[in-house]
Amino acid sequence: MNLPAESDTTTGHVGLAWSHEFAALGPDFFTELRPTPLPSPHWVGTSSDVAKLLGLAETWLRSDEALQAFTGNTLLPGSRPLASVYSGHQFGVWAGQLGDGRAILLGETAGGLEIQLKGAGRTPYSRGGDGRAVLRSSIREFLCSEAMHGLGISTSRALCITGSPAHVRRETIETAAVVTRVAPSFVRFGHFEHFSANDQEPQLQALADYVIDRYYPECRSASTLGGNPYAALLQAVSERTANLMAQWQAVGFCHGVMNTDNMSILGLTIDYGPFQFLDAFVPGHVCNHSDTQGRYAYNRQPNVAYWNLFCLAQALLPLIEDQEIAKEALESYKTVFPAAFMARMRSKLGLLQSRAEDADLIDGILLLLAKNGVDYTIFWRRLSQAVQNAHFEPVRDLFADRAGFDQWLLSYSELLPLDDQALAANLMLKTNPKFVLRNHLGEQAIQAAKLGDFSELQTLQRLLEQPFDEHPGHDAYAAFPPDWASSIEISCSS
* Chain residues in the site for ligand AMP (CB under 6 A): 98-102, 125-126, 129-132, 257, 262, 271, 273, 492
Judged by CB under 5 A, the residue of 271, 279, 375, 456 near Mg ion is 271
| DSSP code of residue 290 | T
Burial class (CB in 10 A: 0-12, 13-18, 19+), 335: exposed
CB 136 → ligand AMP: shortest distance, Å?
A: 13
Helix (H) or strand (E) holding 404: helix 402-415
Q: Choose the binding region for Mg ion from 78-86, 128-136, 173-181, 258-266 (rule: CB under 5 A).
A: 258-266
Residue 164 CB, shortest distance to ligand AMP, in Å, is 15
Give the H/E segment covering residue 168. strand 157-169
Q: How far is the CB of 262 from Mg ion (least distance, A)?
A: 4
Which residue type sits at 430? K
Q: How far is CA 228 from CA 74, 264, 371, in A?
A: 45, 22, 47
Residue 445, SS3? helix
Map residue 206 onto helix, strand or coil. Answer: helix
Q: How far is residue 392's CA from residue 390's CA, in Å, rounded to a whole number?
A: 6
Question: How far is residue 459's CA from residue 474's CA, in Å, rounded to a whole number?
Answer: 9
The catalytic residue among 100, 261, 271, 279 is 261
For Mg ion (CB under 5 A), the number of binding residues is 2
Q: Closer CB to Mg ion, residue 181 or residue 440? A: 181
Query: What phi and psi values does residue 468 have, to the nearest 5 degrees?
Result: -95, -10
From 85-93, 114-122, 271-279, 364-372, span contacting Mg ion (CB under 5 A): 271-279
Minimum gap (Å) between residue 251 Cβ and ligand AMP:
22
Please report how close the Cβ of residue 24 comes to ligand AMP at its closest, in angstroms.
23
Binding segment toward Mg ion, per CB under 5 A, in 3-11, 260-268, 328-336, 472-480: 260-268
Centre a 10 Å sphere on the Cβ of residue 403 and count the other Cβ atoms it contains: 8
- Which one, 174 or 271, has the nearer CB to ligand AMP? 271
- Among positions 277-306, residues that touch Mg ion (CB under 5 A) are none
Q: Is the dihedral of CA 23, 26, 29, 31 positive or negative?
A: positive
Active site residue 261: yes
Q: Residues 97, 101, 106, 112: what is their CA dihedral angle, to the nearest 10 degrees?
A: -50
The region of 236-244, 245-253, 261-269, 404-412 touching Mg ion under the rule CB under 5 A is 261-269
Angle, alpha carbons 62-162-262 (nearest 5°): 125
Which residues within the stretch 210-249 sit at the binding site for Mg ion (CB under 5 A)? none
Q: Which does 456 bind (CB under 5 to 8 A by kind): Mg ion, ligand AMP, none?
A: none
Closest contact distance (angstroms) between CB of 450 and ligand AMP is 19
Among ligand AMP, Mg ion, none, the one that 131 touches (CB under a kind-dependent 5 to 8 A) is ligand AMP
Q: Which of 223, 131, 112 is nearest to 176 (CA)?
A: 131
User: Is 262 an interacting residue with respect to Mg ion (CB under 5 A)?
Assistant: yes
The residues assigned a catalytic role are: 261
Residues that bind Mg ion (CB under 5 A): 262, 271
